[in-house]
Amino acid sequence: MGRQLDGTPMIDVDLRSDTLTKPTPEMRDAIAAAVVGDAAYGEDPTVQELEEYCAALFGKPAALFTATGTMSNQIAVRALTSPGDEIVLDYFHHINYFESRQTALHAGVVFHPCFPHNGVLSSHDVAQAIHGKLRDTGYCRPTLVCLENTISFYGGKVFPLTVLKDTADFAHGKGISVYVDGARLLNACVRSGLDPRCYAAPTDAVSLCFAKGLGAPFGSILAGSSEFVGRARLVRKWLGGNMHQAGIMAAAALFALRNNIGQLDVDHEHARLLYRRLSDPAMPAMSIIPPDTNIVMFDVSALGVTAAAFVAEAARHGVGLLDWTHGLVRAVAHHPITAEQIEAAASAIRTIYDQCMRWQPACTPHPLDQRTLSWQERALH
Ligand SMILES: *Cc1c(COP(=O)(O)O)cnc(C)c1O
């Protein structure tokens, strides 16, 4: 462990995202041993094995290996809509929050973002979205509902299965398809104890990311009907996602599915530990979205700082946090972060909190450098 200039020990714990997990030596062995062929000709046995494994995992007839979670989302949206269609979804879901530009480019659809309680989009929300506009011939028609499970913005909240079934039944009754962005779907399964097939059954298509808490370096899967996957395969090709010796990557994903699901529970425990430390009565100005799985979101606006300034200060303490919008800071527990590292991160956050609370607004400049630009501001410069 190194030391900072003032002699305090340097901590080094990066909680920005669970995409920071790295392949373990055992996973690297599985990658090295992968049998490969040209997947573009349907001849990579490891890719085939992964697709069959995932189809069975989700109880769907077919599955398709893709490069990233974003690519899975883009393919699913393109495969399930026509240009000019409308998608009903939660404002904070990844597809709206991070992918609105590419969705407009690739699928030519419009979003109808809703603000449901805790991101749990109900049949009532979908009904309101449908009836809130003119829907006769010539007007925009909703043809797809997108959901997220876990719901990343709300502490990695598990989408309740009863609501999922009800929303999907309602949508299907209106001829609307249902896609679940399941980047962290196995976190939901580990948390609720339910089989992935339960969450997949009400949907037309579902995705999963291998490169988050599961710890693979690459990849995502889409599962659905044979017809959907056939169309998705075509869209993947249009996007340049037709891969060759992709068995190298599929082997890592298979290894993750066979060995790493259990470690998600440890991440959930660590997120709860961080939440307990941050909800200390000694830090009353901290407002926190409680984690349901591995994500802790906390609001620093009451400390008189921007999320960007708070995150920059945390980085100086050796703690990686992510600057979200709305004064929110995100911390994600992931492998191989330990409980001790979580404790160290919590005490660094406490130190920064105290530093902010000592500030006398009328007389002195704020102790943290407020000129730090958030990533949103940087993007605009
Ligand atoms: C991370 C994430 C994605 C995108 O995955 P990438 O592999 O980074 O493209 C999509 N949806 C959700 C909910 C995510 O958390």
**Is the CB of residue 214 below 6 angstroms from any atom belonging to ligand 1?**
no
Report the alpha-carbon distance of residue 56 to residue 221 in Å, rounded. Answer: 12
Angle at 190 between CA 46 and CA 292, to 5 degrees: 130
Residue 289 DSSP class? E
- Amino acid of residue 115: F
Quote the ligand 1 centre to 19 CA distance (angstroms): 9
Quote the ligand 1 centre to 239 CA distance (angstroms): 17
**Is the CB of residue 241 below 6 angstroms from any atom belonging to ligand 1?**
no
pLDDT value at residue 358: 86
Predicted TM-score (pTM) of the model is: 0.92
**From 209, 293, 324, mutation site for ligand 1 pocket: most ligand atoms within 8 A of C-beta:** 209
Cβ burial of 259 (10 Å; 0-12, 13-18, 19+) is middle
Quote the ligand 1 centre to 120 CA distance (angstroms): 18
Q: Which two tokens stand for residue 187?
A: 């976190």
Question: Residues near 106 by Cβ (< 8 Å), separated by ≥ 6?
Answer: 74, 77, 78, 239
pLDDT value at residue 380: 47
Quote the ligand 1 centre to 366 CA distance (angstroms): 35
Quote the ligand 1 centre to 322 CA distance (angstroms): 15
Report the alpha-carbon distance of residue 231 to residue 346 in Å, rounded. Answer: 47
SS3 179: strand
**Is the CB of residue 17 below 6 angstroms from any atom belonging to ligand 1?**
no
**Is the CB of residue 70 below 6 angstroms from any atom belonging to ligand 1?**
yes
Nearest protein Cα to ligand 1, atom 8:
69
Q: Which two tokens stand for residue 340?
A: 């001790």
**Is the CB of residue 76 below 6 angstroms from any atom belonging to ligand 1?**
no
**Is the CB of residue 68 below 6 angstroms from any atom belonging to ligand 1?**
yes
Q: Find, among 262, 224, 258, the residue nearest to 49 by Cα.
A: 258
Residue 41 DSSP class? G
Report the alpha-carbon distance of residue 195 to residue 283 in Å, rounded. Answer: 38
**Is the CB of residue 207 below 6 angstroms from any atom belonging to ligand 1?**
no
Query: At 268, phi and psi to the nearest 5?
Result: -65, -40
Q: How far is CA 353 from CA 17, 93, 359, in A?
A: 22, 29, 10
Nearest protein Cα to ligand 1, atom 3:
69
Query: At 262, phi and psi to the nearest 5?
Result: -60, -30
**Is the CB of residue 209 below 6 angstroms from any atom belonging to ligand 1?**
yes
Quote the ligand 1 centre to 351 CA distance (angstroms): 32
Nearest protein Cα to ligand 1, atom 5:
69
Helices (H) and strands (E) in the chain, counts: 15, 13
- Residue 379 burial (CB count, 10 A): 8
Q: What's the start-to-end Cα distance of the chain, in Å? A: 37
Q: Tokens 């609370």 appear where?
A: 357
**From 181, 264, 295, 297, mutation site for ligand 1 pocket: most ligand atoms within 8 A of C-beta:** 181
Cβ burial of 366 (10 Å; 0-12, 13-18, 19+) is middle
pLDDT value at residue 381: 41
Q: Give the position, in ligand 1's atom list, of the atom nearest the Cα of 68.
A: 7
* Cβ–Cβ < 8 Å for 307, 329: yes
Report the alpha-carbon distance of residue 108 to residue 106 in Å, rounded. Answer: 6
**Is the CB of residue 149 below 6 angstroms from any atom belonging to ligand 1?**
no
pLDDT digit string, tens, across residues 249-265:
999 999 999 999 999 99
Show the low-confidence residues of the chain (pLDDT under 50).
1, 375-376, 379-381
**Is the CB of residue 152 below 6 angstroms from any atom belonging to ligand 1?**
yes
Q: Find, among 149, 155, 153, 119, the residue nearest to 294 by Cα.
A: 155
Q: Tokens 């995409």 appear where?
A: 19
Cβ burial of 381 (10 Å; 0-12, 13-18, 19+) is exposed
pLDDT digit string, tens, across residues 221-236:
999 999 999 999 999 9
- Amino acid of residue 180: V
Quote the ligand 1 centre to 1 CA distance (angstroms): 32
Nearest protein Cα to ligand 1, atom 15:
183
Q: Which two tokens stand for residue 21?
A: 């997990």
* Cβ–Cβ < 8 Å for 199, 206: yes
How many C-alpha atoms does 240 have within 13 Å on its Cβ side? 1
Report the alpha-carbon distance of residue 65 to residue 99 in Å, rounded. Answer: 20
**Is the CB of residue 181 below 6 angstroms from any atom belonging to ligand 1?**
yes
